[in-house]
Amino acid sequence: MTNLDRLRRDDPHLGLGLGWNLDPDWPSQLLSALRDAISDHDEARLVGFAKLGVELCREDHVAMASAIAQLLLVTLNPEVNGPIRERAATPSDVVKAVSAQESQPEPLPVSVDLLAGTIADAIGMIEQAADLNWRAGHGFDALTDSTSAGSAYQAAGSAWLWLERADQSARASAAAVERFREAGDSRRETEALLTYAEAAIELGELSRAEGFVSRVGELVPDIRSTHLNAVWRRTKARIEIELGRDEDAHLLLMQALRGSRKSGDRELEVVVLHDLAILAESAKGPKHAARWWCKALARAEESGLTARELDIARGASWNATEVDGLDEAIAILERVTERHSESRPRPVYERAHADLGALLLARATRQLSQSGRSSADPSFEQGDEALKTSLGEFVTDGDTEWAGRAARNLKRSWRLQGKQCEGTDWLRSAGFGNRESPAANGLLIEAAMLGIGCPEQAEWSESWLRSQPAQLHGEGFAMELARESYTLDSRDLLQDTDSSLKLMRLACDVAEADAYWGYGDLVNDLGVRLTSANLSDEAEAAFSRAIDIAEQQENRALKSLALANLAELHSRQSETDIARQLFVQSAELAEAVGDLDQAIASWAGTTRIDLKDNPSRAAETTRRIIDLASRGTSPEARATALSAQASTAYVRGSYAKAFTHWHRAASLSSRNRGEYLAFALDALARRQDRERFERELEHILPGMGRDTETIDFCNRVLRAAYAWASAGETDAAGLTVAASAALAGATLTSTQPSTDAQSLFIRSMAALHAGELVVNELDDGGSAVAEAVDRHVRELIGDEPAEALRWILRWANSDSDIDADPDPTVLN
């Protein structure tokens, strides 16, 4: 009852006796006095009780405030029936019941609106709090009560700010500032100005925010409030953060922190600690920020600020992913969501819960990559469940952004688990489609994107996506489809060539129908996807279409790209003359638009062709490539240039130089690292430098993961096996094949079985087969290489894993449909 001390000790106007607030049975006294006022139909006293309810609520007596509101509501409206009239209702039911009433510009209904708004704020129904306070503000305006209107608008502005609805917050805060100024209440005007400044910062209106803060700077000295002084400094700090002036911001926040402690404002202290954590993370990095996160989280927990605690826990878990790892990050969110699983304040609880789900999925993905499918399952299931629950709540609340995030993470999870059908079905049948909200519609888009990869749902998915009027989604709808297509063709665990292709076709159709300005770029991207799917004729048609569009638009950049892609297609079909001609055209156009990266890539295409038939021309082009690379290009382009140099050296027999260049290229490249490392090893094999070869291999193997780079390495390194074998080094050839097989086997078992030719699974199978073909070819009736492979596999990974690899090879051989990589020996 300590907080009641702040309330008036007697209130004869309300019928409360002296010292009522010190009586242990004060609730009964209060309710009895209220009933008397109701019986007397004394509106002025009832309004007084509503105001007392607001005070009680602010002192944490939410249940009593709710009881007052309930009694006043049923008194006000005789037509209110059902549970709200029959028995004690929960605060949330009272808030809902008041919200459902029509607004009336009379003293009592307006006071009840304000009381319900205060209760809503206290129990985390922030949206209702904003609406009820806004309604109360209008009511007080009609009653010409500026101060009360200002208070209500101020509460609405704060609530909308919390809900990240800055425009509504600005509107309410502006009204509050005006009312308090009319009433000559400079203290409350200051508070409202600070909220208004926060909203302006959110809206990116920093000049306006600076104006408000500067006005507060004029008012604060006369008000002499440590609390407001601290809030003022905190708001100024926010502007400094937005402008990138971190040191000034830090200084202001430290002053605000001291002020908050001096004034005993725990919430402000927690808010400032939170700001300091965020600032430290941004300015000095996660390690430095970790202690601020700990302080902020601990203080929020001690102070019982549930919503703050949940919000800070999310930030602290972000920090932990960087500093302590995923397990600790998950533990933070598990602790906080478990602790508040009863009250579940919106929207922060569900956001923390959704974050927990995302982190569990991230851990499952990591386990999938590291240890294979079986170990990942529990985290996937836990993550799925957490996200499904949160998703339902987000849709109910109409929180489109968070519903979208949760749905996209679920979509990734289902794809990784091969559960496209189950996932699509869940999204479609969970009832979201029946709810007319942008959030629900967004989920259907996600369902349709996912369903493209499910045979039973593909037809619905495609027709549903086609039926979407592009203008509904803005001109980015084609790009949204294209983006999904890129995701499914990134040659990682999500690889789904067929779906990627379908989505890109859809993107092109939507773009063409809508005369989208990016149509030409998307058609070019479609050609790339068709090439991946080995649909050469269609790919050629797409590139030709892109070239036509580029010519119509006089777009050299697009033409250069499409020409290079078309050249690559012809090169694969061994139509080298046409390919070379197209590469040259592409390179010249790329140079003309200053795209040196593309110019290098296209010129490198010509050297690849010339190396076989015209080495001197290849050498000349390589010099041009080196010159271009020296003019400032991306690391990837410099790697391509180094690889061209390496290839030229390799053809000349300068293997040491070739090794050095490929080795350097590997260190620069993120796209072709595996390939360059394999070529570097091949150069060492050609030099018959066994010692260096083994040293390099020993260094490379632990750094390889379960990804497309590894499979490129597994395929390309087999060339070195031939080099060793031709030099009579059977044992070294065996070591090479062993390394390739062990890596390919590990990658194979980390992914879902798939029939997609571009999937890691099938490409790993192909690499395993390629290794076996090399052994069969090299042994030529004997078994020396096979024996060496077996021995080296055991040495590399141990007996038990070696046995597992043998089982996998036997299993892979039982599938006769898998071919080896068609051309594991292409240079560059």
Site for other proteins in 732-791 (CB under 8 A): 742, 745-746, 748-750, 753
DSSP 430: S
CA distance 566 to 608: 15
User: Based on CB atoms, which residue is closest to other proteins, 207 or 471?
Assistant: 207
Which range in 2-10, 101-109, 176-184, 268-276 contacts other proteins by CB under 8 A? 268-276
Pattern 446-475, other proteins, x by CB under 8 A: ----------------------------xx
* Residues of this chain, 270-309, that bind other proteins according to CB under 8 A: 271-272, 274-275, 278-279, 281-282, 286
Picking from 477, 418, 505, the residue whose alpha carbon sits closest to that of residue 453 is: 418
Sign of the C-alpha dihedral computed for residues 684, 689, 695 and 701 taken in this order:
positive
CB-wise, 67 or 711, nearer to other proteins? 711
Query: Out of 66, 369, 643, 759, which residue is the one contacting other proteins (CB under 8 A)?
Result: 369
264 or 476: CB nearest other proteins: 476
Q: Does 215 bind other proteins (CB under 8 A)?
A: no
Instruction: Give yes or no for residue 561 binding other proteins (CB under 8 A).
Output: yes
Which region holds residue 798: left if phi is over 0, alpha if psi is between -120 and 50, else beta?
Answer: left
Name the region of 474 (left: φ>0; alpha: ψ -120 to 50; beta: rest).
left
Within 226-245, which residues bind other proteins (CB under 8 A)? 231, 234, 238, 241-245
Looking at 224-325, list the stretches that DSSP marks H as alpha helix, in order from N- to C-terminal side. 226-242, 246-262, 266-284, 286-302, 306-323
Q: Of these, 45, 295, 580, 706, which contacts other proteins (CB under 8 A)? A: 706
Among 30, 34, 70, 121, which residue interacts with other proteins (rule: CB under 8 A)?
A: 121
Q: Which stretch binds other proteins (CB under 8 A): 131-139, 610-618, 632-640, 652-660?
A: 632-640
CA distance linking residue 256 with residue 269, whole number of Å: 8
Three-state secondary structure string covering 709-772: HHHHHHHHCHHHHHHHHHCCCHHHHHHHHHHHHHHHHHHHCCCCCCCCCCCHHHHHHHHHHHHH
Is the Cβ–Cβ distance between 94 and 116 less than 8 Å? yes
Q: Which stretch binds other proteins (CB under 8 A): 65-73, 406-414, 608-616, 683-691?
A: 406-414
Question: Applying CB under 8 A, does 479 fall inside the site for other proteins?
Answer: yes
Nearer to other proteins, 440 or 564 (CB): 564
Q: Which stretch binds other proteins (CB under 8 A): 79-87, 339-347, 517-525, 577-585?
A: 517-525
Task: CB nearer to other proteins: give 289 or 827.
Answer: 289
CA distance 527 to 507: 13
Q: Which stretch binds other proteins (CB under 8 A): 92-100, 477-485, 647-655, 678-686?
A: 477-485
Q: Minimum distance from CB of 723 to other proteins (Å)?
A: 26
Coil, strand or helix at 11:
strand
3-state helix, strand, coil in the chain (%, to 5): 80, 0, 20
Residue among 483, 623, 692, 699 that touches other proteins (CB under 8 A): 483
Residue from 592, 627, 694, 782 binding other proteins (CB under 8 A): 592
Contact indicator for 66, 97 with CB cutoff of 8 Å: no
170 binds other proteins (CB under 8 A): no
Q: Decide if residue 366 touches other proteins (CB under 8 A).
A: yes
Does residue 51 touch other proteins according to CB under 8 A? no
Per CB under 8 A, does 794 bind other proteins?
no
d(CA 205, CA 612): 62
* 56 forms part of the interface with other proteins (CB under 8 A): no
Select 593 or 651, whichever has its Cβ closest to other proteins: 593
Q: Does residue 715 bind other proteins (CB under 8 A)?
A: no
**Binding segment toward other proteins, per CB under 8 A, in 96-104, 267-275, 392-400, 455-463:** 267-275
- For residues 588 and 594, give the distance between their C-alpha atoms in angstroms, rounded to a whole number: 10
| Cβ proximity to other proteins, 268 vs 770, nearer residue | 268
Q: Cα–Cα–Cα angle for 550, 556, 559, nearest 5°?
A: 50
**Nearest-angstrom CA–CA distance, 722 and 719:** 5
CB 532 within 8 A of CB 497: yes
Restricted to residues 307-326, the positions that interact with other proteins (CB under 8 A) are 311, 314-315, 318, 321-322
Least spacing, CB of residue 513 vs other proteins, in Å: 16
Contacting residue, 161, 290, 542, 766, with other proteins by CB under 8 A: 161
Segment contacting other proteins (CB under 8 A): 34-42, 200-208, 657-665, 816-824?
200-208
Q: Does 205 bind other proteins (CB under 8 A)?
A: yes
Q: 491 to 510, contacts with other proteins by CB under 8 A?
A: 492-494
Cα 640 versus chain centre, distance: 31
Q: Which of residues 430-449 bind other proteins (CB under 8 A)?
A: none
Q: How many residues bind other proteins (CB under 8 A)?
A: 124
- Quote the CA–CA distance of 583 and 641 in Å, as a whole number: 15
Question: What is the distance between the alpha carbons of residues 708 and 187, in angstroms, rounded to a whole number?
Answer: 63
558 contacts other proteins (rule: CB under 8 A): yes
**Interface segment toward other proteins; rule CB under 8 A; list 68-76, 214-222, 457-465, 798-806:** 798-806
Residue 632 sits in the site that holds other proteins (CB under 8 A): yes
Long-range contacts of 672-675 (CB under 8 A, 24+ apart): 672/639, 672/640, 672/643, 672/709, 672/712, 673/709, 674/704, 674/708, 674/709, 674/710, 674/711, 674/712, 674/713, 674/714, 674/716, 675/709, 675/712, 675/713, 675/716
> What's phi and psi for 570, nearest 5 deg?
-65, -35
Rounded to the nearest whole angstrom, what is the least distance from the CB of residue 280 to other proteins in the complex? Answer: 9
| The binder of other proteins chosen from 3, 90, 343, 370 (CB under 8 A) | 370
CA distance 170 to 200: 7
Among 99, 146, 365, 585, binds other proteins (CB under 8 A): 365
Q: What angle do CA 150, 155, 157 make, to 5 degrees?
A: 90
Amino acid identity for residue 598 in this structure = Q
The span from the CA of 351 to the CA of 545, in Å, is 46
Q: Is 159 in the site for other proteins (CB under 8 A)?
A: yes
Among 132, 149, 152, 201, binds other proteins (CB under 8 A): 201
Contacts 24+ apart (CB under 8 A), 169-177: 169/195, 169/198, 169/199, 169/202, 170/196, 170/199, 170/200, 170/203, 172/130, 172/133, 172/134, 172/137, 173/199, 175/137, 175/149, 175/150, 176/137, 176/150, 176/151, 177/150
Q: Which one-letter amino acid corresponds to residue 468?
A: Q
Select 271 or 720, whichever has its Cβ closest to other proteins.
271
With 0-12 / 13-18 / 19 or more C-beta atoms within 10 angstroms meaning exposed / middle / buried, residue 699 is: exposed
Least Å distance, CB 720 to other proteins, is 21
Minimum CB separation from other proteins for residue 707, in Å? 5
Shortest distance, CB of residue 381 to other proteins, whole angstroms? 15
Member of 167, 247, 803, 815 binding other proteins (CB under 8 A): 803
For position 568 contacting other proteins by CB under 8 A, the verdict is no
- C-beta of 590 vs 827, nearer to other proteins: 590
Closest contact distance (angstroms) between CB of 558 and other proteins is 4
Question: What character string, x for contact with other proteins (CB under 8 A) and - otherwise, covers 638-657?
Answer: x-------------------
- Between CA 136 and CA 142 the distance in angstroms is 10
Is the CB of 39 or the CB of 207 nearer to other proteins? 207
Length of the chain in residues, anyone? 828
Residue 450 CB, shortest distance to other proteins, in Å, is: 15
Please tell me the distance from the alpha carbon of residue 488 to that of residue 480, in angstroms, as a whole number: 13
Binding flag, residue 554, other proteins (CB under 8 A): yes
